Amino acid sequence: MPSDEKKIMMVVAYDGSGFHGFQRQPEGLRTVQAELEKAVLGLTGVPSEVFGASRTDAGVHATGQTTHFATSSHIPADRMGRALRRFLPDDISIMNSESAPPEFHARHSARGKVYVYTIDRSPEPIPMSAKFAAHIGAPLDEKKMERAAELLVGTNDYSAFRNEGSSPADPVKTIRAIKISRYGPFMSITVTGKAFLYKMARNLAGTIVEAGRGRIDPEDIPGIIESKDRRLAGPTMPARGLCLVKVFYE
């Protein structure tokens, strides 16, 4: 990084409904990264690459996506987010901006992430939640879901929970905790992990839901993990229910 540049870290929130994921796409499709880079260019007049902690999929939301970019702008780091606001669309907000050390990298420096999957449990879908929750009106056995969540925690080869189409990656990951919560008509599945495979968070949620519906016996989960067979785990839940809420760096 040139000596006249500084590194800015920003926490970004976005409604993923109108984006083809976070990462810039060669086809010119609308992405969060492209919109952030457009905003930085509009403010500073200089192109800058904006890096994200998670390359969230199309339709996935965030309230705590961490990003960074380098700039020689004289705008103070803690005011950068506010300065960028007028260049951003309504479905992206910068929640915080601050100076970061030269060695910081939004993705490579991350030590963990928290995703929340939201389910609308009402008998009929609640219209206002349609963009942010997956509706499941069928009965769910919460005790079985909690048992499934318990058995999915650990350091394992999670190949059975990775979709095809991803770049090669070490399938051994650490899931630190999975918590099932209820609030009003909604249920949330909060997954905390060190790192995730392609669509892994949504596949973990799908497996827990299938346990709740009686289609997967929670006690079979260790065998599913050991099998490394994607066909034995639950389905990939819709993107709209998933939200990246926090990235850890310590």
Please confirm, yes or no, whether 57 is among the known catalytic residues: yes
Cβ neighbours of residue 4 under 8 Å, at least 6 residues apart? Answer: 72
CA distance 151 to 234: 14
Contact present, 230 and 202 (Cβ < 8 Å): no
Catalytic residue among 57, 141, 157, 170: 57
Structure tokens at 18: 């109108």
Query: By the 8 A CB rule, do 43 and 83 touch?
Result: yes
User: Terminus-to-terminus CA distance in the chain, angstroms?
Assistant: 23
Helices and strands of the chain, counted as H and E runs: 5, 10
- The residues, ordered by sequence, that sit 6+ positions from 184 with a Cβ below 8 Å of its Cβ are none
How remote is the C-alpha of 13 from its chain's centroid? Answer: 11
Residue at 224: amino acid letter: I
H-run or E-run covering 27: none
What values do phi and psi take at 140, rounded to 5? -130, 130
Chain centroid to Cα 239, Å, comes to: 10
Cα-based distances in Å from 233 to 145, 147, 153, 210, 222? 14, 15, 15, 9, 11
Which residues participate in catalysis according to the annotation? 57
